[in-house]
């Protein structure tokens, strides 16, 4: 899929889901569904409180977020449903996600690049980034796309030198 192409460009080397590194240190991978968003993760996704920007709250019907953090990898998954007539803007959604990530506590030197992709006839954006958290280099990968009024956003972060977390992030992205 398109996400696999993105990850191939991002990663230093491809890892298949059969690779021991992609097993995230023996974690039990499972598929999780959040509304119309479905992905695999190496552990349970736990509910996450998501605050929508004030200017968008009136346009949201629902906004659910979940996260996983373990073995050096953090995954956040967000599924939002917008009201009929809400002005949906894919690029703004991606930039809002970048803004949120770059303003996180301890994050500095956040750099990113956006790339368009098509999945099942729908446009999406891939976010490839790097940042430092308390001086340690990290990688930021994200994918955001709309399906009618449904927005799906998956973000993955890990330390730049952590090849196991890199492989696990690739497996998670490949599963979307």
Give the pLDDT confidence of 132-170 residue by residue, as tens digits: 999 999 999 999 998 888 999 999 999 999 999 999 999
- As separate numbers, helices (DSSP H) first and strands (DSSP E) second, the chain gives 4, 9
Average pLDDT, the chain: 83
Which of 17-31, 58-72, 74-88, 136-150 has the lowest average pLDDT? 17-31
pLDDT of residue 17: 39
- Work out the pLDDT band at 4, boundaries 50, 70, 90: very low
Question: How far is residue 56's CA from residue 54's CA, in Å, rounded to a whole number?
Answer: 5
Cα gap 145→89, rounded to integer Å: 10
Per-residue pLDDT tens for 30-42?
Answer: 999 988 889 999 9
Residue-level pLDDT at 139: 97
Residue 69 confidence (pLDDT) above 90:
yes
Dist. CA 117–CA 121, nearest whole Å: 10
Q: Cβ(155)–Cβ(73) under 8 Å?
A: no
Residue environment code for 121-139, b if the CB has 16+ CB neighbours within 10 A, otherwise e: eeebbbbbbebebeeeebb
How confident is the model at residue 168, as a pLDDT? 95
- In the prediction, which pLDDT does 144 show? 95
Residues whose CB falls within 8 Å of the CB of residue 84, separated by 6 or more in sequence, listed in order:
149
Least confident of 15-19, 58-62, 70-74: 15-19
The residue with tokens 């730049």 is: 160
3-state secondary structure of 125: strand
Portion of the chain with pLDDT greater than 70, in percent: 84
Over residues 91-107, mean pLDDT: 90
Structure tokens of 14? 């491809």
**Higher local confidence (pLDDT), 121 or 3:** 121
Band of residue 5 on the pLDDT scale cut at 50, 70, 90: very low
């Amino acid at each position: 899929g398109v996400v696999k192409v993105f990850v191939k460009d991002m990663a230093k080397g491809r890892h298949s889901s059969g690779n021991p590194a992609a097993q995230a240190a023996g974690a039990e991978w499972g598929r999780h569904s959040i509304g119309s968003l479905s992905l695999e993760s190496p552990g349970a996704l736990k509910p996450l409180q998501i605050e929508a920007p004030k200017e968008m709250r009136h346009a949201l019907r629902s906004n659910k977020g979940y996260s996983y953090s373990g073995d050096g990898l953090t995954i956040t998954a967000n599924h939002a449903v917008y009201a009929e007539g809400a002005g949906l803007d894919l690029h703004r959604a991606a930039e809002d996600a970048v803004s949120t990530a770059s303003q996180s506590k301890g994050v500095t030197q956040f750099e990113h690049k956006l790339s368009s992709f098509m999945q099942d006839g729908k446009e999406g954006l891939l976010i490839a980034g790097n940042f430092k958290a308390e001086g340690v280099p990290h990688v930021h990968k994200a994918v955001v796309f709309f399906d009618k009024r449904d927005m799906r956003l998956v973000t993955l972060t890990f330390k730049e030198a952590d090849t196991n977390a890199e492989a696990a992030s690739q497996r998670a992205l490949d599963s979307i």
